Structure 1
Amino acid sequence: MKKLLIILLTLAAGYVIISCNAHAKAETTIIDTPAYQETIPGYRWTECTSGAAFPKSYNFQLFSFRDTLWAFHPGGNWYTKNGTDWAKSALPNSINNLAFLDYVQFNNSILGLGHFEGNIERYKLTTEIYQTRDMRTWTILAKKSNLPERFFYHPFVLDNKIWIIGGTDGSNSFSDIWNSTDGVHWAKQADDLPFGKREGSQFVALKNRVYMINNDVWSSPDGLNWVLETKELVKGKELFGGTAVVFDNRIWLLGCNRDGKFTSEILVSDDGKEWTAQRAPWSPRGGIAACVYNGKIFMTGGKYGGPGIAGQTTFIYSNDVWSLEK
């Protein structure tokens, strides 16, 4: 009777977690998280694996590239067709410290923008540009480019160009915008953008506009002219550290930190103005990797806890993999 009661309560909470693995035994998994409120009906989370082949980590990236899902990880690069079975590629990590710089998918290739060694207190930053098309080897496009010498920015692609906004050099933050047609030659397009100095902004393209997501949300048709969509994504909360993707004509913001607290709650919007909170069954965390692959959102990685989090003095890192489908 007790086992039946647990299963019924799980179903009443709004979700059943299943496995991506076709050979897994049919069973219900109970996750010790707050009750799930399905405010956007029709979507389902699936746990693909509780532990992928790559080490537990955070602040890395997922890419959908040539019908394969790729994890560009600090310890190297892994790939999968199903989110469950991962293999390591011969392709190494060219950027090194992925907490500071990003890869970007561009013109049927992946580019590594710069190389970072060290940490925020002491580091070495170089502007070499790497490219891979075969996902096995890197080609050095430039040992030294005019890529702005900064970090904590997220590149995005718009109108067949790579764009970067803001970032920091460790001493100063910036409010400018640059773009490039090849990842090597960069040109400043504007200074003093209306939203001011920015670091760590997320960018996604939806309905012929690019959206910049921090604690506030701005949008632009061309990367140069921006309008404010909302001053506060969540009223009365300070958000940072989320990962944004576009799925089913909506923006999905995963892995946000709210007022210094980690959560598994997702924020969803179809216009950047109004956002709906939706609980997810995976554990609270920030610094996750996510992308859309084969008609689903896939997410993995992240960290939870650390100094300042009640009852959790050390960080907990993750390598479970989940997918969301409609």
Structure 2
Amino acid sequence: MTVKFGYGSPDHVRDVDAILRLAEQADRDGLDHVSLSDHPYVADLLDGYAAVGFLLGRTERLSAFVNVTNLPLRPAPVLARTASALSALSGGRFILGIGAGGAMDRITTMGVPAQRPAEQVEAFEEAMQLVRALSAGGDPAPTKHYPIGALKAAAVPAPLIWTGSNGPKSLAATGRQADGWIPGRAADWLSDRYRWSRPIIDEAALAVGRKPSDVATIYNFPGAITATPVRRTRDDEGRWIGGSPAQWIEELTDAVLNHGAAGFTLFPRGSDPYDVQVARWSQEIVPAVRAGINRESPALL
């Protein structure tokens, strides 16, 4: 397991200059990934896949993914071909972030039929299987929700698959199929949501002959990076709210070494400018956390 550090990009059409500037800076600073959202029913948000493709073309080392793909709006066979193209064009820097699809009332405004939750979870697991089957070494076959015809696998390795899953059935699908899990609602390693969710993933992985460690946990991690220390880094409900670089370094190093965290995607909060906080993240916090991990557990880097 290699610990990954990235950031969540702005994604409004008015933010294009900042989006490009941040990605190029993150690439120079050695961050691992950038993510964008997937809400095509919102008129003023950039399309996640168009933006990811553009950012991969503007960078050299940075991976990119949609956090997470709105599956009902992106049918799995087409999604698999998109993944193959982005992987090939970027030299393997594309990550497939995928979810079953939330906000069905908004999804249906795009002209797709509504799905029941059980159908969404079935399609979610089938989609992960189909993406791999349509990648190098795969053997694509029809499924219940994707009755494909005679398709051949692309000669491109399958991307890493990171899921955003919340309910027990989708968590179990993650355990059986995925390479990484992004806990919902920005839950972290101290949350009740993590404590009851992660065992479901682990048990499902073991049931199909996988190791729990085959599914990394990558946290969407919002918080303010302040210039000076704060009195409290967590709120009354125990959620991380941020602090100085030194406070972040202590928190994240502990999360990796003592709680098995495998990655973090920063979503800056607070009054300081977004780009200032991303710079503190990439230039101060991430190198120090990596150094701390390397001293204690070099295999994680």
Q: TM-score, normalised by structure 2?
A: 0.31
Larger relative strand fraction = 1
